[in-house]
Structure 1
Amino acid sequence: MIKKILPDIIAIVALIFISYAYFTPAVFQDRVLLADDNTGGWGSNSDIGPYREQTGEHSRWTNSIFSGMPNYQLDPNYDSQTAIKKFSDIYHLYLPTYVWYLFVMLIGFYILMRVMKMLPLMSVLGAIIWALSYYFIIIIGAGHIWKLTTLAYVPPTIAGIILAYRGKYLPGALLAAVFAALQIQANHLQMTYYFLFVIFFMAVAYFVSACKEKQLPRFFKATGALVVAAILAVSVNLSSIYHTYEYSKESIRGKRELVKENSADQTNSGLDRSYITAWSYG
């Protein structure tokens, strides 16, 4: 047993080493990565931490922005997510902040490669190529950590889907449920929404393959298992999803009170088309 999993253990240790090596200045030289969104977030949450320390309660309101506003998107924290947050800490191996940013990108893609039956060495190389692609490093520097972690959980979610459609219903559904729950808990639903298109086209491809191979019963069993996995992932995060939905109505993503006449760029609700495309990548 040990001999069988030893290559994977060595691979994981190598990924941890790479993560530490990349962020050596932050970890060993006490340097701070001044990411704009992180700095803004610290300022926006400046009154929430002291309140928690004084009362032991988590505030849903902050006075640090405007004349005060709900902090649902500044510091989402719900009792229903306690278990999945504890699992995320275990999955991150309790690594230092900057280190786990890179590690989750590496280990997530490594899991996908192993499910796709790649050898450990090739899986490590694939994980490095994926994690060190320039966009992920850029968004760490920008402080888009919720986006980063959401994207980091996409490959292992795909791994679960693949397992389920291979006939390994329980392991596949369990893997997909856990990492889909982690995706939603990471609180960047835009990325999860885009990922739904990937899932749809994967399902279509597996359906066509099942029709050709006359394996429709297996396809529907796998689909049913994955639907249950999706329900579980959403249920764990239902409080966060609901508050995000309610909050969005009062934000710039909600219905407009003032609309320019004859403006092709503007919509009656939601963001301007130019705003969406300007920030859709970067």
Structure 2
Amino acid sequence: GSTMSQSEAAMAKANPMYNSIYSQLPQYFGEQPWTAGPVYVGAFVMFLFILGCFIVKGPLKWALLGATIFSILLSWGKNFMGLTDLFIDYVPMYNKFRAVSSILVIAEFTIPLLAIFALKEILSKPDTLKLKENRGGAIATLVLTAGVALILAVAPGIFFSGFITTQEMAALKQGLPAEHLAPLVANLTEMRKAIIASDAWRSFFIIVIGCVLLFLYQQRKLKASFTLAGIALLCLIDMWSINKRYLNDEQFVPKSKQTEAFVKTQADEMILQDTTLNYRVLNFIGFPGNTFNENNTAYWHKSVGGYHAAKLRRYQEMIDHHIMPEMQETYQAVATAGGQMDSVDASKFRVLNMLNTKYFIFPAGEQGQAVPVVNPYAYGNAWFVDKVQYVNNANEEIDALNDILPTETAVVDVKFKEQLKGVTEGYKDSLSTIQLTSYEPNRLVYKTFTPKDGVVVFSEIYYPGWRATIDGQPVDIARADYILRAINVPAGEHTIEMWFDPQSIQVTESIAYAALALLLIGVMVLAWTQRNKIAKKS
């Protein structure tokens, strides 16, 4: 999670000429996708855990060791796909994890627990480590922890073949003049070695201090209470100093300063004058890197871009397959047309139109100031289609969007055929109308009229838990065009209402209230029995 420029050890070796590059590169140099912070249990905790594998006896040790190994193997994800596939296919809710590394929360619990059992063993029996059967285990633990840390501190490159990822190397080759590549790579390698050495020395000394405390206790030079307090303080200092790298004072700012982060540009001001109930905005400033990593646009408008840690997978797939390529095409087409949208080919951005992207924000002028461009081709909140094209799977559905015109054809997975009553022909003419009359994020109301039965596609993301009625009568929602909703609408004038009311929330609330009621009854029963006991005694 931390960048190179945040490490003192690294910056001590840095060539100042490349500082701007180092402020963007992470300290991590493995091939895994990196997350905001590593799983760290503590150097001495790890020492005690490995020691526990040798000195703790009984089935509980094997259970904790087994759970730790199992958790680590699962966290390897695609690097151990057999096990991961087994869990994704057969273990309920497992596929809801965003990152496979989340499963390491088990190891974060089992490692310290076995470490505590090892410490209890040593403190309750001061001669534990003197016993012949445990001496070998203690030496092996020292070699595996302090020994490995010392090797890394002295020769940080010994376990690693390279210090720059394939992705980084490709980006550096592309963005750097050839003569700077070799010196930068050499300097970056030196800096990353310095980070490893610095942390290895740190771990080495923490383990040594912990072992000294255990040795003094064994020699009867230190009381159990002081040993325990010393180890607790050692582990706290260890954890505190690492955690401060990821959660520190700089991240806590006054609320006023946090809201200041969302700057309203002149472009935002101009777009906000449009009081239409519901439309979307797409920000091209800093494209391609910035569009799906900034939330300033989403603060002021309904944004096609933006970042969220729990993004819908289907939407991410649409970004990769259609939205990003279309943005590239749109950017070039609008720039060529000098912002004159009437001379731009709208077939280049059908998915953006389908998402009702009414405004594009483009950089203009030397300063790259934000300028809004009205997109007259956006399809609106909902539209009737001429026909429904059924496909067999998700791949066919996403690929079909390369060819169809969404205002004429709705692509629907065959799984949703029943929800649309199996119709393949829609109906649409100049008399068919649908209009959004009320908008709330969790409730939408439309007025519609059509001379014949038809199919309406809504520019709203399909998600389980949304329910719909036509004139108060429940109706099925189908998924169309990979991410949107579709409903079969009968002829005549009707009111369509959609709202979000997932069953899971109702179930969760019922369980929570029932548990609360049981807790209150339990407290009352306890209080009543205590009162009776006191009354009998008196």
Give me the TM-score of the superposition, normalised by structure 2. Answer: 0.18
RCO comparison, higher one (Cα < 8 Å, 6+):
1
Asked which structure has the greater CA Rg, the reply is 2
Query: Whose helix proportion is higher, 1 or 2?
Result: 1
Give me the TM-score of the superposition, normalised by structure 1. Answer: 0.29
